[in-house]
Every structure is written in structure tokens, then in C-alpha cells.
Amino acid sequence: MTLETLLLKRGPIRTIGVIGMGYVGIPAAALLADVPQFDHVTGFQRDSPSSGYKIAMLNRGESPLKGVEPGLDDLLKKVVTAKKFHCTSDFSEIAGLDAVTLSIQTPFLNKDDLLPDFSALMEGIRHVGKNLRPGMLVVLESTITPGTTNGMARELLEKESGLIAGKDFALAHAPERVMVGRLLRNIREHDRCVGGIDEVSTKRAAELYTPVLTIGKVIPMTATAAEVTKTAENTFRDLQIAAANELALYCEAMGINFYDVRAGIDSLKGEGITRAMLWPGAGVGGHCLTKDTYHLERGVQVLGKGTLDYPKGEPSLYVLARHINDFMPTHMFRLTKEGLERAGMPLKGAKVALLGWAFLANSDDTRNTPSEPYRDLLIAHGARVSVHDPYVAEYPGVSIVPFVEEALEGADAIAIFAGHHQYRTLQAPVLKNLSGKKHPVIIDGRNLVDPDAYIREGFIYKGIGRGDRNGHAIVEHQ
Ligand code: SAJ
């Protein structure tokens, strides 16, 4: 019997399982449960010490996610009350379902070898394999190395179930594209790339996602194309940021203002000649851009199987972009060192106020924060660092002061790492008083402050891309 016949026999999708009750799985399960033609959605969460608590919370219709997610609490309450959603750690319930999606995180084992840790995802895939039945649909939503759906996932499912992908069950990849703070809106409105290992799988997966989309559309493709789309869309963003960072470094070296150049370039308009110039900064953090490039690189190494034609001896443009972005905290350190030298203050023993530990403006997310390598460099050179962040209360091994004044008190240098709103309203005279130094240094990593306001107060100013100001004359106060 062909897969198509099996699916026809089973009829339209009615019951769905979502594995991984995280910031991707929870909104996805709630939205699927809210679709009238779907009878029920089961959320699967392993009852681990760190996240088992989510099961009871979700069954009470409460979201365990931090931060504000508009509409999520109400939607969860609605689908739980309507008995269209429940959460369990009993993976054997998978056997009775028509479709299962897996939204399990794939972090890096460690930053050095940049290899992904697929262990949690593989555990989820094993649970599915053990309970797989003919005519079921399996969809991977996690960000994975190109080739994984057709490779590791397919092999594991077939090994655990004794069934054949594309013959006994449908298999696809539909990468998530959600951003914290707008999870429901993103799932409903973003187009959804849906990639099956074959046409029948793609079609079956499209049946699952179409009812959830409002203005978004399903974009059908192969599983590998969907894996490359997801990793490449973040690789490209990282590349655009690196292009802005490199141009900012050039502008500093040539003594000009990057932001004049950016405005000039941006003025190019019309018939597709525009330039997507992003923003230079103190560095690139987060869990997307810092790893997806390496997923893509590994994908082409595995799938390209030595057939990749590329300029001999040249490094990957994308990996070079990663290295440029990862260099920015070092550049911030150099600007700090130069500023302190101009102030006649040795780095050793200097107090540096580090404003912003989150990797993103107005966020509490600290994953892969660029502030960390900067702090490490300062400490390695004998400086004292006082970290402040209005959204981050704690971080392993780093004490974070609750009030910015505490960090600024007696500071020889002030470095702005995150573009938090609060830092836009800092006043130069106030900071000068708090620092108590004749010529405190300010290093602006996110183009937040007006250089002249600080130079007038006797500060030594350094800013990313501000070649027109970084060598300014020092104003001696009367
Ligand atoms: N950054 C810059 N310059 C820029 C933009 C960002 O230095 O012009 C830095 C930020 O400070 C941060 C890092 O890059 O440290 C990442 O910023 P991000 O805005 O890309 O935020 P992420 O990492 O949360 O990226 C996510 C991605 N979404 C998904 O993977 C589903 C990305 O594809 C989105 O484009 C991005 O959100 C977004 O646009 O919000």
C-alpha cells in the first residue's frame, strides 16, 4: 500500500501531538488546538527536574513562558477549558495520533567546536519512533543542520519503528520563525516553509499548518531546502550585520562618521537598487545568529560531499562574517584601553561600568551575550568591572548591580553594550558627577548617546563607527 493510500484511509488530520513545551511548542500547540477541524492536541513534556513543572501549569491553562506573550494566556485557557489541549509526559499517547511535531532545542555542546547538541531532539525522535504507526505524519520544527530530516531523523524513526519513511509514514521539516514577544502573531502571519522528504509528505504537512495561518502562506519545498532556508535566513542577517561592522571599523580608521555614510547609502532608492544596511554594534549575541551559520556550513560539508566549487583557499564568507561580529567586543576593549590611556589612567585597577548584559535591547535574554567576552578581557587586564542591566537580575559568576548609579559611582570608563531605553536618557553632567573623574571615558557600543554632549562635559568619547569624533580634543573644565 502506498503512503498516499494509507493517508486517504486514515482521513484528514484530527489529532496532533507537539513534543517540547518551550517557546516554540507551546504557542504552536495552542494555535493548533484552536483550529475547529482538529479534535485534540497533546503537548508532550518530559518530566525532568528543570521543566517537569510545566505539565501541571499547562493543564491549568497557564503559560510557563517568561515575558509578555500577547494572547497566549487567554488562548491556553480557552483550549484547556474546551478540552482540546492537554499536556503529558506519557509518550505512549503518540500511538493514537495522526500527526506529531517536534520543537526541541538544538543548542551547541560548547562554543569552541560549534557542534550542535542533538541529544534532546534525538530523545524526542526516539519517543516518536517507538510509538509510530502507519499513516502518521512527523514534522521537525527545531533548527537543524541541513540533511538532518532526510538523515539522522529518518534513520532513527525507521530503526525504532521498523516502518519506512515515505512509504509507511510522512516526514517533513517546517522550521519555526518565531520571535519572543510576538510568538502567536509570528506563527499566524509569517509564511511557513514546509519541506517533506517527498511530495506526499509535503502535502500532508501543508494540511497541518494551513489552518493556523492568517496572512501567512505555506511555501512548499523539499525538507533539505527548508533546512537551508532557516539556517541561511539567519546566516544572511549575521552577514549583513558583519558588513555594517566592517564598514564602521573602516570609517573609524578613516576618521569619518559611519552614520553619515549609512544615510548616504540608504538614500539609494527605487527598482531594487536599495541596500539593506543594518547597524554596527558592540557585538552579536543570541541563540540564532551565533549558531545558524555553523549549521549551514556543516550542512554543505555533509551534503556537498566534496562537490562544492569555491574559490581555492578562501574562507567561507559566512564564517568570516561570524568572526567579524565576534571581534566587536575586542574592538570595544581596544576603544576602552585607548580612552583610558588618553585619560592617563592605566587599565590595571581602573573601574569600568558595563551597561547592558542582555544580548538584545530591552530584553532579559543573555544567551551568548557579547558583554561577556568584553568583561573577560577587562578582568584579564586587571580592570574592575561593575555590570548593570535593568532587565537582568543575575547571571552565573557575574554580579549585576540593580541601580545604574552603583555601576557609575567612581567609574573611570563607562561602556554601553545593550541599547536599553534607560541608557538613552543618561545625562552627561550626571554621569560626570557620579564618576567623579576629571576625564571619564564613555564607549558607546550602540550609538545611543550624543558625542558632543559628553565631550563638552570633559569626557573622552569613543563610539563604534565614529571616526569623526574618536580623536576629539579633550575639553578642560575651568
Ligand atoms: N544586532 C546588531 N546589529 C543589527 C541587528 C542586530 O548588532 O543591525 C545584534 C543585536 O544586538 C543582537 C544580535 O545582533 O546582539 C541578534 O539580534 P537579532 O535582532 O537578530 O535578534 P535574534 O537573535 O533574536 O534574531 C531573531 C531571529 N529570528 C528567528 O530565528 C526566528 C532572526 O531571524 C530575526 O530576524 C530577528 O530575531 C528579528 O528580526 O527580530
Higher pLDDT, 181 or 418: 418
**What does the DSSP 8-state code read for residue 37?**
T
pLDDT band at 36 (very low <50, low <70, confident <90, very high): very high
Residue 111 has pLDDT above 70, yes or no: no
Which listed residue (87, 193, 251, 288) is catalytic?
Answer: 288
Q: What is the pLDDT of residue 478?
A: 55
Statement: residue 404 has pLDDT above 90: yes
Residue 190 Cα to ligand 1 middle (Å): 16
CB 437 near ligand 1, within 6 Å:
no
Nearest atom in ligand 1 to 325's CA: 7
Q: What percent of the chain has a predicted confidence (pLDDT) above 90?
A: 91
Ligand 1 in contact with 179 (CB < 6 A)? yes
Task: Find the 158 Cα to ligand 1 centroid distance in Å.
Answer: 37
Indicate whether 271 pLDDT > 90: no
- How many Å apart are CA 378 and CA 287, to the nearest integer? 24
Whole-number pLDDT of residue 106 = 87
Q: Which of 54, 230, 291, 462 does the annotation list as catalytic?
A: 230
Q: How many CB atoms lie within 10 A of CB 243?
A: 17
Q: Where do the domains of the chain lie?
A: 11-216, 223-478
Q: Assign domain 223-478 one CATH number from 3.40.50.150, 3.40.50.720, 3.30.470.20, 1.10.150.120.
A: 3.40.50.720
Express each pLDDT in 274-313 by its tens digit: 788 999 999 999 989 999 999 999 999 989 988 999 999 9
Q: Which of 244-258, 302-316, 380-394 has the lowest mean pLDDT?
A: 302-316
Pair 291, 322: CB distance under 8 Å: no
Q: Give CA–CA dist 189/175, Å, rounded.
A: 14
pLDDT value at residue 433:
97
Minimum mean pLDDT range among 150-154, 303-307, 380-384, 470-474: 303-307
Whether ligand 1 lies within 6 angstroms of the CB of 423 is answered as: no
- Per-residue pLDDT tens for 419-437? 999 999 999 999 999 999 9
User: At residue 219, does pLDDT exceed 60?
Assistant: yes
What atom of ligand 1 comes closest to residue 176's alpha carbon? Answer: 31
pLDDT level of residue 477 (50, 70, 90 thresholds) = confident
228-238: pLDDT as tens digits? 999 999 999 99
Cβ contact 24:178 at 8 Å: yes
Dihedral sign for Cα atoms in the order 17, 19, 22, 23: negative
Q: Which CATH code of 2.30.30.60, 3.40.50.970, 3.40.50.720, 3.30.565.10 fits the domain covering 11-216?
A: 3.40.50.720
Helices (H), 64-218: 72-81, 119-130, 154-161, 183-189, 199-209
Equal CATH topology for 11-216 and 223-478: yes
pLDDT, average across residues 223-229: 98
> Does 177 contact ligand 1 (Cβ within 6 A)?
yes
> To which H or E segment does residue 19 belong?
strand 15-19
Segment 346-363 mean pLDDT? 96
Q: Which atom of ligand 1 is nearest to the CA of 186?
A: 31
pLDDT of residue 268: 86
Using only C-alpha atoms, what is the Rg of the chain? 26
Is residue 54 within 8 A of residue 87, CB to CB? The reply is yes
